[in-house]
Chains A and B, each alone.
Chain A
C-alpha cells in the first residue's frame, strides 16, 4: 500500500507537470482516440475529400489551390485515389505490390514497387518521392500519440456545425503548426474536416473536408490495378535524396 502511495505520488507529479506544460485536454484526446479506433477497425472504405491548399505562386504569394479527391481503400494493401483540381488531374493505384502515379493531363505515369500495406506504402512513397496522399495524416494508426507527442496544446473547442453536420471541434497547436479537426457527432466518429496551418512558412493552410463515407463496402480487386492507356508513357522519377 505504501509502495502504491509512493507510486501514485510520483505518477501524479509527472502527470501534473505534463498537464501544466502540455495543456492536454482529456476530452479532446478521447475524441481523437475514438475516431482513430474506428478508422483502425475499418476493413474497407470509400470517401470523398475536398482540399484547399496554399502554394506560393510566381508573385511569391500564397495562392489557394482547390482539389477534389475520390479515395478507396481495402485493407491492408489496396488503395486508389483520383484527384482533380487546380493542381491537375491525376490518380494513384496501389495493389499491394505496385504503385502507379498517373497524370491525366500529361498522359504519363510512374510505376514503383511499394511496401505491402497502405500505411508503410504512404510513408515510403511520400518520403522517397514527395507524393502526397490527400488526408493521409488522419489515417495514421499513431495519430493520437503523434498529436500528444508533437503538440503542446490539445483542446476540445466544443460543438460546431460543418456542412449542416454536428461535429466535435478539437485543436492541437505548437509553435510551428496548428492542427484542427472536426469529428462527426455520430456513431462512427468519422472525421469531417481538418485544417493544418504551417506557422513557419507564411501561415500556409491545408484544409480537407470529408464527405460520402461508405464504411466497409465490398470493392473489386481489379479497381486497384492500373492498365495504362496505349498512348501513355512510362517515365522515370527522381528520388528526393
Chain B
C-alpha cells in the first residue's frame, strides 16, 4: 500500500505543480524547454537495472547459485549526450567536471548593444586603450590606438521608406534597401595623403587648419574640441604629437581631397561627398561634416571598422554605424543600415 500511496502523492503534486508553472520560461530553439529541468550536476538517478537478479531455481539442472553476482557496470549516464531523460523529477546527474581544462584559444569579442551604447557617448575623441575597436585580423597597426567617437557615428534615418522587410535580431530591426551580399571587409587606402585613424605624427604641416567643435550646444567656449585638419585627415593633439581621428560631425573645412567621391544621401540634390569614412555636404564656406545617413551606399570603408556577426549576417561596425555588405552591378559595396528597436 505504501508505494501506491506515494505514487498518488507524487502524481497529485506533479499535476498541481504543472497547473501553476508558467510556460514563460527560458525558450531555447523553437519549442519551450525549461532550463530549470535541464539536469544539473549533483544528484544521482536510480539505475534502471536492478543490481541483483534472482532467477527461479531449476531443479533439473546442475546446482548453481541462485543469485547472480552483483554487477557493477559503470553508469553511462555521466557520459550521456544530454545527461539522461529526466522526466517528472528533479533528477540531477553527476558529470565529470571539465573546469580544470585550460584554453589558450582566442575567442571572439562578444559585443553587447546596451553596453556599447553606454560608453563614450560624451562625444570626446579620446586617445587611449578604452573602447578600442579591433580584435579582427585586418591589417591594423596595433601600435595605434583607434578609438571610435560614437557621437560621430550616429546614423540619420533613410529619406525613403524601406520596401524590404528588416532583418531581425535581438529585438532590433536592421533595415536595408538592398539584399545582403557578403564580401570580406578590406580597409581601403585613399591615396598618398590618406592617414588611417590612429596614425601618429610628431608634428603636422603649418598649412593645417584648426577646427573647433562644440559637442554640446550648451557647452562653454572653453569646452570646444580642437582638431587640426590637413588633406582630409583630422588630428587631435596628444602629449607627444598628433594622432589621426575620425572626422567630427559639424566640422567646417575649406576643401576636401580630390579622392572624395560624390554620394547620394537624400533627395535634396545637395552636393554630398564621401572620403575616408566621413560624409561632407558642400556649402558656401566649403564643406561641412554631416552624420551618416541610412541607405547611403559607399564603395569602400576605412580602417577602424570591425566585422561583427549579427545572427546569420556579418556587418562592419564603426561605433553606432553598421554597414551591410551588398553588391551593386557586380561591384562590392556597403549600405548604411538603419537600426531600430521598433518595426516600421
- The chain A residues found within 8 Å of chain B, CB to CB, are 1, 3-4, 7-8, 10-11, 14-15, 18, 33, 36-37, 39-45, 56, 58, 60, 73-77, 87-88, 96-98, 101, 103, 105-108, 110-113, 116-120, 122-123, 126-130, 132-133, 136-137, 139-150, 177, 179, 196, 198, 206, 233-241
Contact across chains for A236 and B111 when beta carbons are under 8 A apart = yes
Contact yes or no, A33 B95, CB < 8 A: no
User: Contacts A60-B165, A76-B83, A237-B308 hold; do A120 and B38 have CB atoms under 8 A apart?
Assistant: yes
Q: Are A11 and B95 interface neighbours, CB within 8 A?
A: no
Which residue from chain B places its CB closest to the CB of A57 in the assembled complex? B165
Interface residues on B, range: 35 or more
Give complex CA distance A6, B1 in Å. Answer: 14
Complex Cα spacing A124 to B140, Å: 32
* Chain A residue, CB-CB nearest to B325: A106
- Asked if B8 contacts A11 (CB within 8 A), the reply is yes
Complex Cα gap A209–B136 (Å): 38
Q: Please, which residues of chain B bring their CB within 8 A of the CB of A10?
A: 12
Residues of B within 8 A of A107 (CB): 184
Tell me the total A-B contact number using a CB cutoff of 8 A: 253
Contact among B27, B83, B105 with A119 in the assembled complex (CB-CB below 8 Å): B83
B163-187 Cβ-contact flags toward A at 8 Å (1 or 0): 1110001110000000100101000
**Are A126 and B1 in touch, CB under 8 angstroms?**
no
Among the interface residues B37, B78, B87, B165, which one has the most CB atoms of the partner chain A within 10 A?
B87
What is B's interface to A at a CB cutoff of 8 Å?
A: 1, 4-5, 8-9, 11-12, 15-16, 18-19, 21, 23, 26-35, 37-39, 76-88, 95-99, 101, 103, 105-114, 135-138, 163-165, 169-171, 179, 182, 184, 306-312, 314, 317
Known: A76-B81, A126-B29, A142-B38. A239 touches B136 (CB 8 A): no
Q: Sorted from nearest, which 6 A-B pairs have the closest CB atoms?
A: A40-B85, A240-B170, A142-B37, A40-B84, A236-B109, A75-B81
| Residue numbers in B under 8 Å from A116 (CB-CB) | 95, 97-99
The reply to whether A236 and B135 contact each other, CB–CB distance below 8 Å, is yes
In the assembled complex, 18 residue pairs joining A and B whose CB atoms fall closer than 8 Å, in A order, are A4-B1, A7-B8, A14-B12, A58-B163, A58-B164, A117-B95, A119-B82, A130-B169, A140-B38, A235-B136, A235-B308, A235-B309, A237-B108, A237-B309, A238-B170, A238-B308, A239-B170, A240-B169
